[in-house]
Structure 1
Amino acid sequence: DTSPTAYERYVDSLLASPHYGERMAIEWLDAARYADSHGYQTDSSRSNWPWRDWVIDAFNRNLSFDQFTIEQLAGDMLPEASRDQIIATGFNRNHRINGEGGIIAEEWRVETVIDRVETTGQTWLGLTVGCARCHDHKYDPLTQREFYSLFALFNNVPESGTVMGLGNRNGGNADPVYRIPDDAQRAKLAKLEQVVADAQAAVAAEEKNIGSFVQEWAAEARVSLDQAAEVWQPFEPLELASAGGASFRRSEDGSWLVEGTNPPQDSYTFESLIPSGTFGGFRLELLPTDGLPGGGFGRGGNGNVVVTRVEAEIDPPGDGKSIPIRFVRADATYSQKSWEAAKVLSGKKGEGWAIDGHNQDITQPRQLALFPEKPVVVPQNARLVVTVRHESQFVHHTSG
């Protein structure tokens, strides 16, 4: 190339070469005491090459020196620090790592911080600051107090400077470690980050409409509450039976009180006509009663109740085949700890719904609602048969 601009073009090609950054980074890597091994005792391998690559890239993209300085000393403290800015702080992790048996971790942690202070001072200030760790510097303008003031700046990392205790190994990096994804992982992370960003945008869009959404929800809830009386139809038993021989007495308010024989466990069966249409659920309500022990809900000495299972079926008139109802959801207005409503459905021996009936500070009625997977079609003149079982290991924990 004999053109007048040949020299300039050649210089530009050298500056554009990735090898330019490799060559220019050598002195900085040496000053920062970069190495691929610990530099002590067994001289085991370490991995800080992402920081090395960051330095090379910084030269290749002509990063300004002030930014070059900021990111290496405190890149992780920048607002919304990027992955590369965090990698830049690897400058501060080039210190020696000791895996020798019998070392004192705190002593080596202090040595690590001092190493960091000395290297920062030599690299950026051009001063042999290490002398001031023991006394005021003899000729550089640095006091011992100033040395340890800079020491305090770096003395805020949860580290020990040793790899002892980490799986009994003496190789690798000392905690804390920043894990960096490879190219394939970066691509996957980028896709996932986009998914998160899209989801956040969707949430933000919905938040703009939250006011109208709440108003619509409140209106629907009011309608549901207004229709509650129509949804739950009173259960008017034609027959009531106790497997243990207890008897039933109707109260003036329409509720039923269990009296007479009080077996350790018992099952109550109720039978009632049910309107044709669909059956969507069954609700059992237990009321605190003055005539029961402690003014509670059950027939036992402490007034507690454990319902272990509820079975139901619809019996068509005549010789029609019974329609079994399989409940798949259970809700309750109150459940005793570890005795949630859903355990009525588990079918496991020893589980069930309990109500803390022995706690006299809780006097509200208890309600258990059971729902099938989907509404069950009810033919004309059919009967609903429900059996409530009290078969726990706790005796006399039967509904009263």
Structure 2
Amino acid sequence: MKAPTFPESVQDGTIANWHKAVGSAVSRDELIVDIETDKVVLEVVAPVDGVLTSISAEEGATIASNQVIGAITEGAAASAAPAAAVAEAAPVASNSDAVASPAARKMASEKGIDLNSVAGTGKDGRITKEDVASASAKPAAAPAPAAKPAAAAAPLPAGDRIEKRVPMTRLRKRIAERLLDATSSTAMLTTFNEVNMKPLMDLRKEYKDLFEKTHDGARLGFMGMFTKAACEALKRFPQVNASLDGDDIVYHGFQDIGVAVSTPNGLVVPVLRDVDDMGIASIESGIRDFGLRARDGKIGIDEMMGGTFTITNGGVFGSLLSTPILNPPQSAILGMHKIQDRPMAVNGKVEILPMMYLALSYDHRLLDGKDAVQFLVAIKDMIEDPARILLQV
């Protein structure tokens, strides 16, 4: 059983989680192991029916593309698998049953410690390297009583301060590197505006049910309208849709818009291709599909490649105002925020309107303030008067 072929942009991966132990019966296309790369978690399934007979890359190990990570004996009967597993794993059964990090397993093996006798303090009871070190420091003559304090260790003395050290995942490290690179290698500046959401909210209220019925359950949300408005604005201001490549400015004749999606493992930005050719329903369905698959870690690396512009919506988490960070080599990113009722002056009178702050961060090396401000105003005008999107005015 080999690791999948990684794209050119991915150098290596890390074994994140084995879903099967040595000796377990497996079925064809059953999930066996997760491999975490810089951009996405890849799932490796069993190529045949049989029994997992060996694992050559433990959790936490760094692997290359197409590297052998385990072996499956094809055709072994599922009923015989448990017996085979017990027979093969008998010498190390005590340690293999425990949930422990690779570093903890290595230390336990070196010190001859049974991991089943160690109380785990990590997430979901996972045994850490520090737990093994603590266990090795205890007197060897009294192993039996040591189990009782472990079972009763839940309530800690008052005043104790707890620290837990957890290594960053590859995805989180890659996100950190890209964010740091964006802030250090671009002349990033942010301009703000605010938009009256009432026209769009009234439109959504009037046509929401009909829209969903007409377009096979596609929901009419705000992201579809903002994405379409951004696409129209990008056509009017092609420099916002451009990118820098060395000393050259690359103008893209298409609008591939990335939509930032939050996942348990970190932020990913899948890309909607050729948004100019998509309708509101297609955009909404695409964004919803990205959200569902991102939550399950099923977005492919190719779906996150490229992109000429990005939209991020911190408003879903309650953010009132923020300065989004660029997604290089793109030259701009639009930040949406929470809708909040505020008193506004309308024709000399004060009205309470649902308002949203918009933020556009841009690379000042490529974009002048005038271009960035006019681009953001164009989006504001289209959202406050959605007919402009249809009429392209």
Q: TM-score, normalised by structure 2?
A: 0.19
Structure of higher CA gyration radius: 1
Higher RCO (C-alpha 8 Å, min separation 6): 2
The alignment's TM-score, normalised by the length of structure 1, stands at 0.19
